[in-house]
Structure 1
């Protein structure tokens, strides 16, 4: 990873060389491309892997939250990869920005998958509710008043639990304050729009990955999203939360390897398994 401070709103970096197809990894809110470090060496050896640095990263531009068109930034990242990436892996809020981009392109009459050369998607810990009625005042209160807890969880996972609870709490609130009210509003607007997504038009083969103990984006939402997409299945990884690429790196990467292998071979998606088996597919 490039440790020099990058002041560009959007940039991409090639992390591995390969001839088996390009893959672009997209980080979530208040994270950066280091979130993928534990996974990079475990992904397919023949993949040409790129990572993006997006405006909502930890050290990103502070005014990004004042721009309601986050999908424009993400589109820029897709365009920066030479030859375009065939597989997109998007975590947390980036998964929602990606869905928003694909949805808006479709509404405008553009086949976004063809336009960007996308063949497959991996959506990690996405936020999704199928019906507007699933949002209530308690939902807003939770994500507003407990937002710092999500930031603290990211710090805890990245640090490997080496920081004291007091330090984690202080750092979590500092990150929350850096995101700010406008950044939070951009996140929750994306979340509120998920019931209106035209998911039936997002036809790329898709793997939805989540953690069993995720209190930010509950795994039930990943299952619901996979059920709403025409060619998707979900995997809930046991014993981990919102950052499975760190908490369960080997299993996380194994799921992606299997998914890409089946995608290239045209293998049919597996049949639905019950929730208590920690798997749901269609």
Structure 2
């Protein structure tokens, strides 16, 4: 089955949203995977291998993927792309049982689920989210450190993707090159999304949620995941030991089991 492509007016057509059906066993729960900034769908490959044919898996290649073009960030409302990913799968294949979103995409998904509940999946997994409950949780020192955090995220993504291959001494230079390629507008969209997180109306998210993060995440603090899980109407929190910002790649087996166990608790699924 070919991928589905969508573009938005005013956004470079070389940066489409692409939805790819990765596996499709009959009768399995339908799962949509949303990667974070400067990654792509390959970041979920370890989970796909662990899941085997447990799920019908769809993966969105979002405009902020690592090979994308920076013009996506010239549009202020990045959450629209996540909404279109949900709609694209639903229109093509039917209702989504579970959406799993990482990092930047997890924070955008919160907005979409709060603002457009009619398009909601049956449940959501929010992986390594950026969230603060109050605007007072942001101060100037934190703001100035977020640029370094952004570079750290790129570095960890490169290290995880390398899986021990290549020269670790080159990871710093590669991370800076990635940041230069995606540009200041992409960083601004990340910052905008994070700063606006206290105003997401979490009370509107009445679907079951699993908030999943690494205990050793130095990029999105585990306290962010804890604060989010405490405030969602129906959520459980899971912190994976010995994991940083990419638990789906660092501990794919444990990650997949947590998601599968969560799916099994949903009464709406067979």
Instruction: Return the TM-score normalized by structure 1.
Output: 0.86
Shift of 1:194: 0.9
CA deviation digits over 1:11-59, x for unaligned, max 9? 1111111212211000000000000001102227342110000000001
Contact 1:156 1:163 in 2 (8 A): no
Whether 2:268 is the aligned partner of 1:260: answer no
Gapped regions of structure 2 (runs ≥ 5): 3-12
Gapped regions of structure 1 (runs ≥ 5): 106-111, 267-282
Matching residue of 1:272: none
Q: Distance in 1 between matches of 2:101 and 2:149?
A: 23
Identify which of 149, 155, 171 aligns with 2:152: 149
Q: Distance in 2 between matches of 1:209 and 1:98?
A: 14
Whether 2:74 is the aligned partner of 1:66: answer yes
CA deviation digits over 1:190-218, x for unaligned, max 9? 00111111111101100000001101101
Q: Distance in 2 between matches of 1:116 and 1:241?
A: 31
Identify which of 91, 98, 103 aligns with 1:87: 98
Q: Distance in 1 between matches of 2:227 and 2:56?
A: 31
Q: Which moved more, 1:238-247 or 1:158-167?
A: 158-167
Contact 1:20 1:46 in 2 (8 A): yes
Pair 1:235–1:144, CA change in 2 (3 A): same
Q: Distance in 2 between matches of 1:151 and 1:203?
A: 33
Shift of 1:103: 2.5
Q: Distance in 2 between matches of 1:21 and 1:163?
A: 37
Contact 2:113 2:119 in 1 (8 A): no
Pair 1:16–1:264, CA change in 2 (3 A): farther
Pair 1:44–1:200, CA change in 2 (3 A): farther
Contact 2:47 2:253 in 1 (8 A): yes
Whether 2:52 is the aligned partner of 1:49: answer no
Matching residue of 2:112: 101
CA deviation digits over 1:140-186, x for unaligned, max 9? 11111342121111100110132323310111001111121110010
Shift of 1:8: 4.7
Whether 2:233 is the aligned partner of 1:230: answer yes
CA deviation digits over 1:92-137, x for unaligned, max 9? 00001111222333xxxxxx1xx22511000000001111111001
Q: Distance in 2 between matches of 1:61 and 1:74?
A: 17
Contact 1:11 1:53 in 2 (8 A): yes
Shift of 1:84: 3.5
Contact 2:217 2:245 in 1 (8 A): yes
Identify which of 28, 42, 48 aligns with 2:36: 28
Contact 2:149 2:219 in 1 (8 A): no
Task: State the SS of the aligned residue for 1:42.
Answer: helix
Q: Distance in 2 between matches of 1:227 and 1:101?
A: 19
Q: Distance in 2 between matches of 1:47 and 1:125?
A: 22
* Alignment root-mean-square deviation, CA: 1.7
Matching residue of 1:273: none
Contact 2:69 2:182 in 1 (8 A): no
Contact 1:212 1:219 in 2 (8 A): yes
